[in-house]
């Protein structure tokens, strides 16, 4: 009997560990864009930010494929018989803006995966050990190889490159300022300024 109880307990623990992420049903309230939707859970309306992806803007700024990403999400959710949110144990439940972070399902289809597979979303903002990151990254590589939508030209990738270049330029400026204000001697000041100028020059060419 004791052995049987032990086996049952171990089985129960294994099931719980496999189903650690919490799911709850939701209703569509408002489509916003490709990675944000207003959903009602119980009596509460949540502004849900889709975990682990980023889609082109289609609210204040109209970016290429932003419309397609928004329409894809809205179609999936509006036609679904059941919408569910899954909260990842590896993530905070809300972001710094108070938006709910979750995996979103439309009739058991993971919306994040649908977007990434169609080349309408980039895998991004990975701040923890999320459940489906590896699968999303594999899907993204396939979409990139097939040059689907955001990966069909260089514009989306160039945007990321420009952001990195601007950060590099900012780092160069900081080095120069630090050299002028905090260098211990003339030699160190010259080295820091020279390094900062080189960094600015290198990233200006990329930009």
129 shares a domain with 186? no
pLDDT (0 to 100) of residue 69: 98
Domain membership flag for residue 29: yes
Catalytic residue among 49, 68, 84, 122: 49
CA–CA dist 141, 14 (Å, integer): 32
Q: Are residues 79 and 160 in the same domain?
A: no
Q: Which residue among 57, 63, 71, 86 is the active-site one? A: 57
Of 71, 86, 99, 189, the catalytic one is: 99
Residue 119 within any structural domain of the chain: yes
Question: Which structural domain, as residue segments, surrounds residue 138?
Answer: 20-151
pLDDT means over runs of 10, the chain (207 residues): 47 41 94 97 98 95 95 98 97 96 98 98 96 97 98 69 66 80 76 80 69
Active site residue 49: yes
DSSP 62: B
**pLDDT score recorded for residue 16:** 37
Shared domain for 84 and 140, answered yes or no, is yes
Q: Which residues of 127-152 are buried (b: 16+ CB within 10 A; e: fewer)?
A: eeebbbbeebeebbeebeeeebbbbe
Whether residues 34 and 83 fall in one domain: yes
Structural domains in the chain (count): 2
CATH of the domain at 84: 2.40.50.90
Task: Give the model's pLDDT for residue 6.
Answer: 44
Q: Is residue 105 part of a domain?
A: yes
Structure tokens at 48: 């849900």
Considering the domain architecture, whether residues 130 and 36 belong to the same structural domain is answered as yes
Residue 78 shares a structural domain with residue 147: yes
Tell me if 7 is assigned to some domain.
no
Helix (H) or strand (E) holding 170: helix 155-182
176 is a domain residue: yes
Contact 8, 15 (CB under 8 A): no
Whether residue 161 is found in the same domain as residue 147: no
Assess whether 57 carries a catalytic annotation: yes
Same domain flag for 67 and 122:
yes
pLDDT per residue as tens digits for the range 86-134: 999 999 999 999 999 999 999 999 999 999 999 999 999 999 999 999 9
116 and 88 within one domain? yes
The reply to whether 164 and 201 lie within a common domain is yes
Q: Is residue 14 part of a domain?
A: no
Residue 198 bears catalytic tag: no
Nearest to 55 by CA among 175, 130, 159, 145: 159
Distance CA 173, CA 186 (A): 18
pLDDT at 169: 83
Could you give the C-alpha distances from 161 to 117, 121, 164, 165, 169, in angstroms and in order?
23, 17, 5, 6, 12
Same domain, 27 and 64: yes
Same domain for 124 and 30:
yes
């Amino acid at each position: 009997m004791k052995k049987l109880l032990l086996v049952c307990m171990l089985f129960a623990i294994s099931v719980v560990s496999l189903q650690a992420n919490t799911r709850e049903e939701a209703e569509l309230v408002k489509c916003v864009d490709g990675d944000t939707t207003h959903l009602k859970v119980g009596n509460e309306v949540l502004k849900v930010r889709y975990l682990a992806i980023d889609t082109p803007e289609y609210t204040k700024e109209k970016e290429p494929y932003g419309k397609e990403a928004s329409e894809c999400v809205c179609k999936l959710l509006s036609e679904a018989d059941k919408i569910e949110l899954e909260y990842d144990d590896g993530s905070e439940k809300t972001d710094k803006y108070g938006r709910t972070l979750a995996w979103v399902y439309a009739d058991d289809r993971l919306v994040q995966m649908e977007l990434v597979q169609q080349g309408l979303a980039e895998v991004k903002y990975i701040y923890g050990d999320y459940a489906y990151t590896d699968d999303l990254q594999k899907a993204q590589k396939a979409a990139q190889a097939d040059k689907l939508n955001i990966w069909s030209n260089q514009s989306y990738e160039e945007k990321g490159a420009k952001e990195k270049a601007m950060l590099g330029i900012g780092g160069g400026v900081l080095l120069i300022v630090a050299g002028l204000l905090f260098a211990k001697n003339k030699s160190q000041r010259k080295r820091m300024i020279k390094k900062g100028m080189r960094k600015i020059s290198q990233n200006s060419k990329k930009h």
